[in-house]
Amino acid sequence: MSTVLIVDDEKNIRRTLRLVLEGEGYDVLDADCQAAAEQQLSTETNVDTILLDVKLGEDDGLELLERIKSHLAGSGTGYDPSVPVIMISGHASIDDAVKATKLGAFDFMEKPLERDRVVVTVRNAVDRAAMQARVNQLRDAVDAQFELLGTSQVMVDLRRQISKVAPTKTRVLITGESGTGKELIARAVHRNSAVSSGDFVKVNCAAIPPELIESELFGHERGAFTGATGRKRGLFEVANKGTIFLDEIGDMSLSAQAKVLRVLQTGDFSRVGGEQTLTTDCRVVAATNKDLQQAVTDGEFREDLYFRLNVLPIESPPLRDRKDDLPLLLQSFVVHCCDENGFAHKSIDDAVLEKLRGYDWPGNVRELRNVAERLVIMSDEYIVEKDLPPYLGGPTREAPAVGSDGSIDISAYASSSLREFRELIETQFIVHRLEEFQWNISQTALSLGIERTNLHKKLRALGIHRPS
Ligand SMILES: Nc1ncnc2c1ncn2[C@@H]1O[C@H](COP(=O)(O)OP(=O)(O)OP(=O)(O)O)[C@@H](O)[C@H]1O
Ligand SMILES: [Mg+2]
């Protein structure tokens, strides 16, 4: 049930509103002055909507409104600034209405109050509050998913660097090996920036075919080329007042680089097939795992674009330089993976961590994440050494023992569990097929009758790696 707080110094108004709103099924609280209202707000955790009189006897309703809304800035009294406030006023003053709107009031009603108007306005406000709560919830969930974990000195330094760089409008270039968390850094920059309420628009420059990149980035007008059946907004336009994340920028073609350079120089661009010059005001963050300076030397990357992008460089550290974070990262990936699969949380044997510490992690955090996924799937309640893939010190799997007639020698597996036996056979079978198709994943998956993504999952789970 939703709760409405009525703040009015006139007893009759409070009583009438209470009757109307209780009749509509709301829980009703009331207060006759600012202090009483603040008392209610600090003790009641879930006020969904506030009806607030502009003239509160000695007190000023607008002042209270300001106090409620200013808690956005985190002054600490702790009531929720997103709660919708409907102002009520005895003598309509345009000035008051304007001021209330500026302060963030949801709506403004004049006395005498009409029953229907009150009911509809309160219902809209409550609905809005519910929607806002869901948006916040989803945003928190998304943020948690992209949180940069780690307490090592390297990560502490990285976070400090992000918090310095983020609030500026300057362009950021994130470099570092594959799987080190460059995308998470880009998202952290956005979250801590002045444009965090805008969108974070990710562009995978490597994945867009060169002939489409211009229309993806800048949009197109209807009929600009065959297949352009309608007008389309480009990603630079979508990212206006937000952040555009140019991922894998080192893989962009030279012709696309020239076009991106123009928008970075002037903020101007036009849609493909369009006459009009549009402008965009967005934060630009780029990332690459290539050595861009080398690419410039090799003539694969424009030097002018490199300088435009590389205003504030951030280096994403490889996992081998922050092995102190291994336990925390592993633990959190294991918990996440257990949750996703509906398993009870599994604990991890110290010997497993010891083995992981001894490894160099060329695939960085992404590789660790895949290992964690495998460990969760392969282990029983407790994750132990034998659940590790062979290259991390787990048991090596020999070829299946074969009897004289060529069939599998079952007696050689007297002490194996069904799972171990199945894994062994599966591994042999899949490796055989992979070799047959020169490790081409699509073809192998097709021949096995499974989806590519499933084959990828299997390879990770069974710890199958292409021999280098
Ligand atoms: N510090 C970290 N804390 C938690 N998860 C991380 C961290 N760093 C990386 N990850 C996870 O590792 C995976 C790879 O991260 P991300 O995609 O950001 O890497 P990347 O540097 O962009 O790699 P690539 O160059 O291959 O695109 C993701 O699943 C990400 O959530
Ligand atoms: Mg990436």
Question: What six digits make up the tokens of 362?
Answer: 């060329």
Domains annotated for the chain, with CATH where assigned, are 3-140 (3.40.50.2300), 153-317 (3.40.50.300), 321-462 (1.10.8.60)
pTM for the whole thing? 0.70
Q: For residue 186, which atom of ligand 1 is closest to its CA?
A: 18
Weakly modelled stretches of the chain, pLDDT under 50: 72-76
Between CA 212 and CA 234 the distance in angstroms is 11
Ligand 2 mean position to 103 CA, how many Å?
41
Distances (CA, A) of 212 to 80, 219, 284, 465: 45, 10, 20, 34
CA of 316 to the centre of ligand 2 (A): 11
Torsion of the alpha carbons at 253, 255, 258 and 264, rounded to the nearest 10: -50
Ligand 1 binding pocket includes 180 (Cβ within 6 Å) = yes
Closest ligand 1 atom to the C-alpha of 174? 21
Tell me how far apart the alpha carbons of residues 445 and 421 are, in angstroms, rounded to a whole number: 22
Ligand 1 proximity of 202 Cβ (cutoff 6 Å):
no
Cα–Cα distance, 304 to 286 (Å, whole number)? 15
Query: How many angstroms is it from 182 CA to the middle of ligand 2?
Result: 6
What is the Å distance from ligand 1's center to 462 Cα?
A: 22
Whether the Cβ atoms of residue 216 and residue 235 lie closer than 8 Å to each other = yes
pLDDT score recorded for residue 347 = 94
Round the average pLDDT of the chain to a whole number and report it: 89
CA–centroid distance for 63 within its chain: 37
CB 146 within 8 A of CB 162: no
User: Which residue owns the Cα nearest ligand 1 atom 8?
Assistant: 181
Place of tokens 């108004």: 13
135 Cα to the center of ligand 1, angstroms: 25
Residues 401-446 pLDDT 10s: 666 776 777 777 777 788 888 888 888 899 999 999 999 999 999 9
| Cα of 104 from ligand 1 centre, angstroms | 38
Choose which residue among 157, 184, 314 to substitute to test ligand 1 binding: the one with the highest number of ligand atoms within 8 A of its C-beta. Answer: 184
Q: What is the pLDDT of residues 70-115, one digit of tens each?
A: 764 444 456 777 899 999 988 767 888 888 888 889 999 988 889 9
Residue-wise pLDDT for 187-199, tens only, equals 999 999 999 888 9
Cβ(323) – ligand 1 distance below 6 Å: no
User: pLDDT value at position 149?
Assistant: 95
Residue 74, pLDDT score: 44
For residues 71 and 79, the answer to whether their CB atoms sit within 8 Å is yes
